[in-house]
């Protein structure tokens, strides 16, 4: 069933989602992927659209866009949206994470500094099949085993690999990589602090990654 037409207007924020039917790939090949990026990069400045965030993977994509002067909708639709928003009672609500900020950083760290599956979870590779352990969230987080054909295991693993020209973390502000070292040294000088680690790390890189 098609969705209702998206209300649009100047400076409206949109969360745009693209999904492959039945989890299929949204790009035929790397050429198709690069062609999409080229057209997207051309469209953004031409329509004066702002792109604040994106996630472009093999079978789905998310974009956070703010429209510019070129509108896809009508002024009447935008006015209707504003009127609806005025009637609605808004409550700004934010709360601390249940387990504290450390748990949030630990959760995000699993995605930014680890691969889709760690080595110790892969239990066997035999006769063209891969057996690995996983936690069943629907069964009280019990650890179970799953065996997949090698090509299916590789297919699922590659769903977590970012497309070409994309990275997991982008730095902005004083952490922008080109001037990060200069900025950090200046900040330390202004704060009158000396660089150093307060806690010694005994784990190796391999242990940290696993």
- pLDDT for 70: 46
In a domain, 92, yes or no: no
Contact yes or no for 80/12 (Cβ under 8 A): no
Which of 62, 87, 112 delimits the end of a domain?
87
- pLDDT for 2: 45
Q: Domains in the chain: how many in total?
A: 2
Do 75 and 116 lie in one domain? The reply is: no
Return d(Cα 197, Cα 55) in angstroms, integer: 34
Q: List the end-to-end C-alpha distance of the chain, in Å, as a whole number.
A: 44
Do 17 and 62 lie in one domain? The reply is: yes
- pLDDT for 143: 94
DSSP element (H, E) containing 94: none
Q: Are strands 142-149 and 122-126 parallel, antiparallel or unpaired?
A: unpaired
Angle at 108 between CA 103 and CA 114, to 5 degrees: 120
Which domain covers residue 76, as residue numbers? 13-87
The residue among 79 and 188 whose pLDDT is bigger is: 188
The residue among 84 and 157 whose pLDDT is bigger is: 157
pLDDT greater than 50 at residue 72: no
Contact yes or no for 118/124 (Cβ under 8 A): no
Contact yes or no for 92/58 (Cβ under 8 A): no
Return d(Cα 165, Cα 178) in angstroms, integer: 18
Please list the alpha-helical segments (H only) found in the chain.
Answer: 30-46, 75-87, 101-112, 150-158, 180-191, 205-209
- pLDDT for 76: 57
pLDDT, the chain, mean: 79
Determine the distance from the C-alpha atom of residue 15 to the mean position of all C-alpha atoms in its chain, rounded to a whole number.
13
**pLDDT digits 0-9 by tens, 110-133:** 777 778 888 899 999 999 999 999
Return d(Cα 60, Cα 58) in angstroms, integer: 6
Average pLDDT of the segment spanning 78-105: 71
**pLDDT digits 0-9 by tens, 190-201:** 888 877 655 666
In a domain, 59, yes or no: yes
- pLDDT for 71: 46
Do 125 and 73 lie in one domain? The reply is: no
Which of 164, 181, 199 delimits the end of a domain?
164
**pLDDT digits 0-9 by tens, 21-68:** 777 888 888 888 888 888 888 888 877 888 888 888 888 888 888 877
- pLDDT for 134: 93
Do 21 and 78 lie in one domain? The reply is: yes
């Amino acid at each position: 069933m098609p969705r209702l037409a998206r209300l649009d207007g100047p400076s409206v924020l949109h969360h745009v989602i693209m999904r492959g039917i039945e989890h299929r790939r949204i790009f035929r090949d790397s050429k198709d992927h690069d062609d999409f990026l080229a057209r997207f990069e051309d469209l953004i400045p031409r329509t004066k659209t702002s792109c604040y965030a994106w996630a472009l993977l093999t079978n789905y994509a998310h974009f956070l866009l703010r429209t510019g002067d070129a509108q896809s909708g009508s002024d009447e639709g935008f006015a209707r949206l504003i009127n609806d928003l005025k009637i609605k009672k808004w409550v700004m609500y934010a709360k601390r994470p249940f387990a504290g900020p450390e748990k949030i950083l630990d959760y995000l760290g699993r995605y930014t500094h680890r691969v889709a599956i760690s080595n110790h979870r892969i239990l066997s590779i035999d006769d063209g099949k891969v057996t690995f352990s996983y936690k069943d969230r629907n069964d009280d987080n019990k650890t179970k085993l799953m065996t997949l054909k090698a090509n299916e295991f590789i297919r699922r693993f590659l769903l977590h690999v970012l497309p070409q020209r994309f990275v997991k973390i982008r730095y902005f502000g004083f952490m922008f990589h080109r001037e990060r070292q200069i900025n950090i040294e200046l900040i330390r000088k202004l704060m009158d602090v000396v660089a150093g680690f307060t806690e010694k790390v005994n784990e190796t890189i391999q242990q940290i990654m696993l």
